[in-house]
Amino acid sequence: MNPESIAQLFHRIQRGLPDLTRIRFHDLRHTHASLLIMDGVPVKVVSERLGHANVAFTMHIYQHLLPGMSAAAARQFAALLRRMSRSLLKSPRVVVPVFMRRGLRWGQSRVVV
């Protein structure tokens, strides 16, 4: 199917709905990406869906959406810490990932006693 035909169909549908704000067909692509990012879909996945050559380009275009997500990330991390502390109270031996120092590499874990 010809992409121009899809855009023309989109504009014809818009003309039939005069109460809606007119947007370009390409704006749907930005809306799609913005909604995915705001819903927490990893930027790498969004970048692949858009067909961008690299994630840095996607980050540059949609970086304005990310600062507002910082508070949500902080709340999510706080919830994670609460779950971890409850697990520690239930079981004295919990495997905790250690990402820095102590000679461990990414992905390795250490048992906390």
Burial of 47 (0-12, 13-18, 19+ CB in 10 A): buried
The residue whose two tokens read 């990932």 is 97
Token pair of 24, please? 């370009």
Taking the whole predicted model, whether its pTM rises above 0.75 is answered as no
**Tens digits of per-residue pLDDT, 37-94?**
988 899 999 999 999 999 999 999 988 887 777 787 888 889 988 888 777 666 656 5
Mean of pLDDT values over 103-108:
52
Domain-by-domain residue ranges, the chain?
Answer: 3-65, 69-112
